[in-house]
Structure 1
Amino acid sequence: MDKNLEKSLGQWLKKQKSSCGIFLKLSIFTGALNGVAIVIQAYLLAHVLHGVIMLEAPMSQFTNQFIALVVLILVRAGLAYARERLSFEAGKRLRRDIREAVLNKLTDLGPAFIKGKPAGAWASIVLEQVEDLHDFYARYLPQMMLAGFIPLIILVSVFPMNWAAGVILFATAPLIPMFMILVGMGAADANRKNFSALSRLSGHFMDRLKGLSTLKLFHRGDTEVNKIEAASEDFRQRTMSVLRMAFLSSAVLEFFAALSIAVLAVYFGFSYLDHLNFGHYGAGISLFTGLFILILAPEFFQPLRDLGTHYHAKAQAIGAAEALVELLEHPNPLKQVDGKFSEQTAQHHQVSLSKTAITATDFEVLTLSGERLLGPISFEIQSGQKVAVVGPSGAGKTSLLNALLGFLPYKGSLNVNGVELSVIDKQQWRTHLAWLGQDPQLFHGSIRDNVCLANPELNDNQVMGLLEKANIAEFVSSQQQGLDTIISDQASGVSVGQAQRIALARALAQPASLFLLDEPTASLDSHSEQLVSSALSDAMTSQTCIMVTHRLEQLQHMDNILVIDNGSLVQQGHYAELSQHSGLFSSMQQQDDNDVLLSLSEPADNEKEGA
């Protein structure tokens, strides 16, 4: 990973620690208190052993010291427990805030941006990568502070007693951070690659799972199994690479710590044998001094060893932060109008949406990367008008609806009741929209839950009334559980027509002044199509409607028809007017008539062949 990128990611991680609140500071404070308790405990142990062994004092003389030791053990246990709880709370709050920020960002960027990656990849970011930030804040950051504070306390306690021991500790301590830095150079990059492999595996598996029927029908099951196996093997190898670095780091840190303690032990051993005579300020080295320092020596290195153990959390967090920062700092193209960014939150305009009239002038719909999908076009839709948008596939019809829904950026002017759409509060705007697409998304839950998605306050009678308007109440009543009938993921358990009518009931639950319909009857049989069309006609008596469709025979009652081709508005007018003039609409109409004649002639041809 590039060093500048790694540094910037580390700075971003540290900036987020404000989300941990006071819990991070309390965690460090309890750890520091534990360090002070360690020094006191070592002092009491050395004092008791020196008195019993060297001074041959009776055990009863040290009753108070024993009581203090027991109290210290209990205090240290309580401090360790409190630190763990406080650290976990700090990490939990951080994860909650980051996950909320990610979900809010995805909401702002909209469906057009989300479709750029498989669902599994987004699940990996929202779940796995946010989770991998926990140890950085709960363990690494507090331990980084304690790795400096506790050894400093011990050095302050050791140097007045023996400067040689203090020099040994002070000289060997930097070896551990130095090695941690060397290991960390590759650890962050290994974790980043590991996250990339996990993201690819999640997205690959999710897509193949959703398309399992297609894969089976085209005999591609074994091939895809091999591809998933290859992706899993790649993820396994990268995971083992990360673990190898973690274990290597721990082994070397233990080696340096043990080596330093061994040097101290040799120093005191030779000093007691009178082979060494320095470091004691001329007063000699007592058993108390040796025991006190040797008891503290492992505790001197323990914070550094713990930091080394948790150092992989930093590498893990940096690897996870790369995708998170890229997402959270992604510019919101929905705030871009005519090349200038306008902060919508500061410029929301209040507008009455009880009725909806739309005026587009030099209107262009753009992709999230700024490429033009539609326009420039100009049109006007008066309140209560029914407008159809027709044209070949890929002409830009759905892009128009996505811009009206607030999912794609645009240039030019798009006025709603005289106010630019870009400065209307999107939440207020969408509460007055009723949207129905050709492939409605029903969520796992009951029929009641799906209908009440936008309006949870509806009672059962109101829900049944909406289902009756959508011509699906009879089906629901025939189910044993009625409104509590469960719809599984991907609308499993209901037909396409039933799912479409349940989605229509859901759309009707909003007090909409504008209906946006994207091929609402494209996947339906003739009976279901008639039911949905009838329900829509009844629901849109006074509301404005924009409908994208390929079925031209439904357009006789439309107030206006917009004909789009290659992103341009090539014709507009009433059905009768467009039918009488040569152009794209009449060509499409003629093609539809030919398709109908061909379908009617097929049964006769088949009978002739049978004869």
Structure 2
Amino acid sequence: QRLSDSASAYQRTTMGVLRLAFLSTATLELFASLSIAMIALYLGLGLLEQLPWDKGQAPVTLTQAFFLLLLAPEFYLPLRQLGNDYHAKQKAEAAATALLEIFNTPTQDTQTASKDDAIQSHLSIVKTQSTSLLTFQALSWQQAGRTRLAPISNHIREGERIWLSGESGVGKSSLLHLLLGFEKGYQGECFVYHEPFSTLDIAQWRGRLAWLPQTPEWVNGNIRQNLLLGIQPPSEQEIQTALEKSQCADFIKALPAGLETKLTELGTGLSGGQMQRLSIARALLSNADVWLLDEPCSGLDEDTANAVLETLNSVSKGKTLLVVSHDTHPISWADRHWNLTHGGLHEQSIQAIA
């Protein structure tokens, strides 16, 4: 029923947008066409010397009339373009509204528990795990009566690489979203070293993170611009080193324009494996020490997935990794394997899975 309601709402919204788009475009096209037709009528009557107010005389020659008719569509082109610009403005406003919700997200958690109580609770958790970078204590997330994340209790040490698996819907991706700081209202506790997650300087924490989603995000521009988006510009040598480590150097050299090759939001012209390797290169250039990866092999064939995982193995040594991946793409080089179920988090042997 929820899926049906969602699809119906999406259909109504889409058709409403299309109705407005077609009506506005048709209106502007009508005015432009009528304007050009009026010019053609004026020139035609003028050449026939039949203008009501100037009979027996032609205001222009035949050559001039043809020239003006050729210019008329170009003259009214901005009127046609107005419709496209208006819809682009509407899209930008919608995107800005969504971004403002993120920018206005409070960085302080609104839980009623005091900071001192949280610290005391935390000290009881981490005194046996003093080297932990992340500590989870009964961390869960419920929203509108639905469990988004099953309760988990564990810790991640600095430089440790964790493979998180589990069936769909238990909250693997939700855990990553919580760690990115985009979600609030979770239950339980999460700590970074000795500090509760709710009191962190979220901007400083995100500066330590590299986020590799299932489908890498790109912007219209060239490969170089996408690699350097949002980071301090590195040297050419650092760029080349990152490309070589991520195994991007060879296929980029084969492109006609190299790093200046144009890239669309969908990564047109590159394969899934190449796009994932580019996202790894981008993570390397960010100098982040904590990597969060959500299904890096999603949509890749087995050989390409294995090649991407091998690349990750070689470049992520010394980094703290939490990588979500199904059992169909086992990560044998991980230090620990967590299996998340609706009943909670269970640690499994890497050797047994491999």
Q: 1:356 to 1:444 in 2, by over 3 A?
A: farther
Q: 1:508 to 1:341 in 2, by over 3 A?
A: farther
> 1:450: which partner in 2?
226
Give the SS at the match of 1:357. Answer: strand
* 1:571 matches 2:343: no
More contact order relative to length (CA 8 Å, sep ≥ 6): 2
Tell me which structure has the larger Cα radius of gyration: 1
TM-score, normalising length from structure 2? 0.63
> 2:327: which partner in 1?
551
Give the SS at the match of 2:247. Answer: coil
Contact 1:442–1:503 (CA under 8 A) maintained in structure 2: no
> 1:360: which partner in 2?
136
Contact 2:313–2:333 (CA under 8 A) maintained in structure 1: no
Contact 2:151–2:345 (CA under 8 A) maintained in structure 1: no
Q: 1:356 to 1:475 in 2, by over 3 A?
A: farther
Q: 1:389 to 1:337 in 2, by over 3 A?
A: farther
> 1:391: which partner in 2?
166
- Pairwise CA distance, 1:356: 6.7
Structure 2 runs not aligned, ≥5 long: 1-5, 28-92, 116-130
Structure 1 runs not aligned, ≥5 long: 1-116, 118-198, 205-226, 240-319, 343-354, 580-588, 590-611
Q: Deviations over 1:165-206 (max 9, x none)?
A: xxxxxxxxxxxxxxxxxxxxxxxxxxxxxxxxxx999x73xx
> 1:473: which partner in 2?
249
Q: What is the one-letter code of the residue matched to 1:396?
A: G
Match of 2:263 among 463, 483, 487: 487
Q: Deviations over 1:23-54 (max 9, x none)?
A: xxxxxxxxxxxxxxxxxxxxxxxxxxxxxxxx
> 1:269: which partner in 2?
none
d(CA) in 2 for partners of 1:329 and 1:508? 26
- Pairwise CA distance, 1:331: 8.0
- Pairwise CA distance, 1:366: 4.5
Q: What is the one-letter code of the residue matched to 1:231?
A: R
Give the SS at the match of 1:450. Answer: helix
* 1:463 matches 2:233: no
Q: Deviations over 1:488-529 (max 9, x none)?
A: 232122121111111111111122221111111122233432
- Pairwise CA distance, 1:448: 0.7
- Pairwise CA distance, 1:548: 0.6
- The structure carrying a bigger strand percent of its residues is 2
Q: What is the one-letter code of the residue matched to 1:483?
A: L
d(CA) in 2 for partners of 1:331 and 1:467? 36
Match of 2:20 among 223, 227, 232: 232
* 1:418 matches 2:194: yes
> 1:336: which partner in 2?
109
d(CA) in 2 for partners of 1:564 and 1:554? 15
Q: Deviations over 1:222-253 (max 9, x none)?
A: xxxxx4687328977xx9xxxxxxxxxxxxxx
Contact 2:132–2:155 (CA under 8 A) maintained in structure 1: no
- The structure carrying a bigger helix percent of its residues is 1
TM-score, normalising length from structure 1? 0.38
Alignment of 1:267-282 (within 5 A): none
d(CA) in 2 for partners of 1:448 and 1:487? 10
- Pairwise CA distance, 1:461: 2.5
User: Across the two proteins, how many residue pairs are aligned to each other?
Assistant: 259
Contact 1:513–1:544 (CA under 8 A) maintained in structure 2: yes
Give the SS at the match of 1:476. Answer: helix
d(CA) in 2 for partners of 1:512 and 1:485? 26
Give the SS at the match of 2:231. Answer: coil
d(CA) in 2 for partners of 1:230 and 1:498? 35
Alignment of 1:139-178 (within 5 A): none
> What do you get for the CA RMSD once the two structures are aligned?
3.6
d(CA) in 1 for partners of 2:219 and 2:103? 29
- Pairwise CA distance, 1:471: 0.8
> 2:275: which partner in 1?
499
Q: What is the one-letter code of the residue matched to 2:160?
A: Q
- Pairwise CA distance, 1:337: 5.2
> 1:402: which partner in 2?
177
Give the SS at the match of 1:564. Answer: strand
Q: Deviations over 1:442-464 (max 9, x none)?
A: 11111111111132411322212
Q: What is the one-letter code of the residue matched to 2:19?
A: A
